[in-house]
Copies of this chain bind each other. A is one copy, B any other.
Amino acid sequence: MHARRHPLVTPALLILGIARATIAQPADLVVTNARIYTVDGARPVAAAMAVRDGRVLFVGDERGALALKGGATRVVDLQGHTVLPGLVDAHGHLLGLGLALRNVDLVGTTSYDEVVQRVAARAREAPAGSWIVGRGWDQNDWGDTRFPTHEALSRAVPDHPVVLERVDGHAVLANAAAMRAAAVTARTRDPEGGRLERDASGAPTGVFVDNAMAIIDRVVPQPSREEQRAALKGAIAEAHRWGLVGVHDPGEPRAVIELMEDMAAKGELDLRTYVMIADDSAALAYYFARGPRVALNDGRLWERAVKLYADGALGSRGAALLEPYADDPKNSGLLVSAPAHIQDVATRALKAGFQVNTHAIGDRGNRLVLDAYEKALAAVPVADHRFRIEHAQILNHDDIPRFAALGVIPSMQASHQTSDMYWAANRLGAARLLGAYAWRSLLDAGSVVPNGSDFPVEQVNPLISFHAAVSRQDARNWPAGGWLPEQRMTRGEALKSMTLWPAFAAFQERDMGSLTPGKYADFVVLDRDIMRVPDDQILGTRVLSTWMGGRVVYEAK
C-alpha cells in the first residue's frame, strides 16, 4: 500500500463518509452561485466551495458543495459574483500604513500650495508645539518639479514642528520648527548614504534625502506601543477593505515584531503577516539565534525573513545606477548598505534558515545584490533559499536571467511603474527603460513575480497593481496601448502575482495562494469579473467581502 499519509481527508474517504446516513463532519460554510477562479491548475474554475475548520474542504460544483452541508452549515449565495483566493500584498508596510492613516495625507497633491494648506488645516486643530506628520507629496506631480523649500510651509505653520515624507519614503520635508528641534544648521553635514538639499549659501532648504532623513526622524516623538497597536489594527481593517488577507511587511524592528506577536496571541492580528526583520545587528543576532518561526497563532505571523536595503529610490535619485542619471549627470545614486554587509547578512541568514529580501531599485543596486547573494550561496549552498530582491525596478539586460539562475525572486510593485512612467525616462533615458519594470522579461526568463503596492507609498487597493501589470496604464488608462506594453503580464499571471506567487515567495504555497482543498479558506468576493472585463473596467471593481479561514473579515455596506 501507499506509504505516504496525507494530512487531509482523501477523496476516497470523503466519498465513503458521505455514503453514511449523515455526514460525519459537515462543512462549516458552503458558498454557492459564484464564479471562482481557484488559481489551482487541477480545477481552475468552480461554482461553489465548502469550508471546514478554516480550510477549504471542497471546490467544484454546487451540488457537490451542498452535499457537505449539515445542520449547522452556513450557506451563502454569492449571486453570481466573482471569487478569488484572498489577495496578498507582497510588499506593504503595515505599521507605516496604520500611521499614515492617522497622518496628513498628501497623496495626490498637485502643488506645494496644496500641501501647505492641508498641513495648516491640521495645525489649526492640534495643540501648539505638537508634531504634525504627513506623507505622500511628490514634486513630480507639481507645476514646478524641483524639490520644495521649507519657507512657505514654515510661514504657514510656525508653531508646530512639521515633517512631511515624500511619496516614496526616500525624502522628508521639514519646516523651520522641526529643523530647530533637530538642531539643523548650515553646518550640519551630509551623512553617508544621504544628503541635505541646500541653497546657494549652503543652508538646508528643508529636504532631507535617504539616510539624512534620520536627522529629523530621530527627534519626532515615536508613537507609543498602544498607538502602534491601534495603528496596526487600523491598517489591518484597511487591508481587508481592499480584499487583502495577507501582507509581506518589508522590515520592522524587533519591538514592532513583538507587538505583532502579542496581537497574534490575543487574536488581534487578523491578517496573514509575513514580517521581515529590519536590518539591525542586535535584532538579526537575536532572530538568527532563535531560528525561523512560521504560521504562529493559526497562520497569523511568520518570522523567517530579513529585510536589507541596497540603495535609494528613483524619484529622489537615490537608486544606484551603473551610469549617471540622465537628468543629473554627476549623480549615480546612493548605496544605503555596503555590498559586504549584504553578503555577510545573507551568509548568516543561510546558516540560520532565514530568507533575505533586499531593497534594490537601480541597475547597480540590483547587480550588487545579485553578486552578494551569489557569493553567500557559494559559501553556504542552500537549495530552496528563495532569496528576494524587493522592487527589482531597473535591471541591466545581463542581470535579468540571473534571477532565475540564482533562484532569486523579483518582488515587484506594478503600481510603481504607472506612478513613475511620467518621469522615469527623464531619469534613465530611453535605453535603460528597456530593463525598467520589466516583469515580462523576468517571467520569460523563468522567474515568478510576486506583486505588491508598497503601501503607504502607493494606495492599498491591490487592483491598482493588477491593472498596471496587465495594461501598463494608469488609473485613467493612460497611455493608450500601455507604456512599454511588451512588458505586460497576462491576467492569469497577474492573478498569480497576487496569490500563488506571494505564497511561494513566503514559503507558504502549501497553505496559501490558491483555493485548493486543505489550504486556508481565504477568499475575496468582487462585483466584477476582473479576469474578463476590459482593462478600463478593472479599477471600477468593488470588494464585496473578504474572508479569512472561512470567516468574514470585511463586508461592503
Bound CA span A64–B350, Å: 12
| A1 proximal to B (CB < 8 A) | yes
| A2 proximal to B (CB < 8 A) | yes
Q: Contacts A7-B5, A12-B304, A64-B384: A41 and B39 contacting too (C-beta < 8 A)?
A: yes
Bound CA span A406–B62, Å: 8
**11-63 of chain A: CB within 8 A of chain B:** 11-12, 14-16, 18-19, 39-47, 50, 57-58, 60-63
- Cβ of B63 and Cβ of A407 under 8 Å apart? yes
Partner of A65, one of B2, B68, B383, B448: B383
Bound CA span A386–B50, Å: 16
Give chain B residues whose Cβ lies under 8 Å from the Cβ of A380.
Answer: 18-19
| A66 proximal to B (CB < 8 A) | yes
CB distance from A460 to the nearest CB of B (A): 25
| A6 proximal to B (CB < 8 A) | yes
| A514 proximal to B (CB < 8 A) | yes
Q: Chain A, interface size: which category?
A: 35 or more
- Cβ of A19 and Cβ of B352 under 8 Å apart? yes
Give chain B residues whose Cβ lies under 8 Å from the Cβ of A50.
Answer: 383
Q: What mask results when residues 256 to 297 of chain A are scored 1 for a CB within 8 Å of chain B, else 0?
A: 000000000000000000000000000000000001111110
9-residue interface stretch from A321-329, A433-441, A503-511? A503-511
Q: What mask results when residues 359 to 380 of chain A are scored 1 for a CB within 8 Å of chain B, else 0?
A: 0000000000000000001001
| A427 proximal to B (CB < 8 A) | no
Bound CA span A63–B39, Å: 29
Q: Which residue in chain B gives the minimum CB-CB distance to A12?
A: B292
Q: Contacts A7-B4, A7-B7, A294-B2: A19 and B383 contacting too (C-beta < 8 A)?
A: no
Partner of A448, one of B43, B67, B381: B43
Bound CA span A229–B119, Å: 86
| A298 proximal to B (CB < 8 A) | yes
Q: Which residue in chain B gives the minimum CB-CB distance to A61?
A: B407
| A404 proximal to B (CB < 8 A) | yes
| A452 proximal to B (CB < 8 A) | no
- Cβ of A15 and Cβ of B384 under 8 Å apart? yes
- Cβ of B383 and Cβ of A14 under 8 Å apart? yes
Partner of A384, one of B4, B58, B352, B382: B58
CB distance from A193 to the nearest CB of B (A): 30
| A99 proximal to B (CB < 8 A) | no
CB distance from A214 to the nearest CB of B (A): 33
| A179 proximal to B (CB < 8 A) | no
Bound CA span A128–B509, Å: 65
Q: Which residue in chain B gives the minimum CB-CB distance to A35?
A: B446
- Cβ of B2 and Cβ of A381 under 8 Å apart? no
Q: Contacts A19-B352, A446-B47, A501-B42: A11 and B384 contacting too (C-beta < 8 A)?
A: yes
Partner of A381, one of B1, B12, B63, B381: B63
Q: Contacts A2-B295, A7-B5, A350-B15: A383 and B60 contacting too (C-beta < 8 A)?
A: yes
Q: Which residue in chain B gives the minimum CB-CB distance to A9?
A: B384
Give chain B residues whose Cβ lies under 8 Å from the Cβ of A472.
Answer: none
- Cβ of A14 and Cβ of B384 under 8 Å apart? yes
CB distance from A264 to the nearest CB of B (A): 11
| A80 proximal to B (CB < 8 A) | no
| A456 proximal to B (CB < 8 A) | no
Q: Which residue in chain B gives the minimum CB-CB distance to A296?
A: B1
| A385 proximal to B (CB < 8 A) | yes
Give chain B residues whose Cβ lies under 8 Å from the Cβ of A351.
Answer: 19
- Cβ of B353 and Cβ of A509 under 8 Å apart? no
| A405 proximal to B (CB < 8 A) | yes
Give chain B residues whose Cβ lies under 8 Å from the Cβ of A47.
Answer: 404-405, 446
Q: Contacts A41-B41, A446-B47: A353 and B19 contacting too (C-beta < 8 A)?
A: yes
- Cβ of A2 and Cβ of B299 under 8 Å apart? yes
CB distance from A520 to the nearest CB of B (A): 10
Q: Which residue in chain B gives the minimum CB-CB distance to A292?
A: B12
Give chain B residues whose Cβ lies under 8 Å from the Cβ of A298.
Answer: 2-3
| A195 proximal to B (CB < 8 A) | no
CB distance from A484 to the nearest CB of B (A): 23
A-side residues, CB < 8 A to B, are: 1-7, 10-12, 14-16, 18-19, 39-47, 50, 57-58, 60-68, 291-296, 298-299, 304, 350-353, 377, 380-386, 404-407, 446, 448, 496, 500-501, 503-504, 507, 509-511, 513-514
Closest 6 pairs (CB-CB, A-B)? A2-B295, A67-B381, A61-B407, A45-B446, A15-B353, A42-B504
- Given contacts A15-B385, A39-B41, A41-B496, 19 further A-B pairs with CB under 8 A are A1-B296, A5-B7, A6-B510, A7-B7, A10-B294, A12-B353, A12-B507, A15-B383, A41-B41, A41-B514, A44-B448, A45-B446, A46-B446, A47-B404, A57-B383, A60-B384, A63-B407, A64-B382, A64-B385
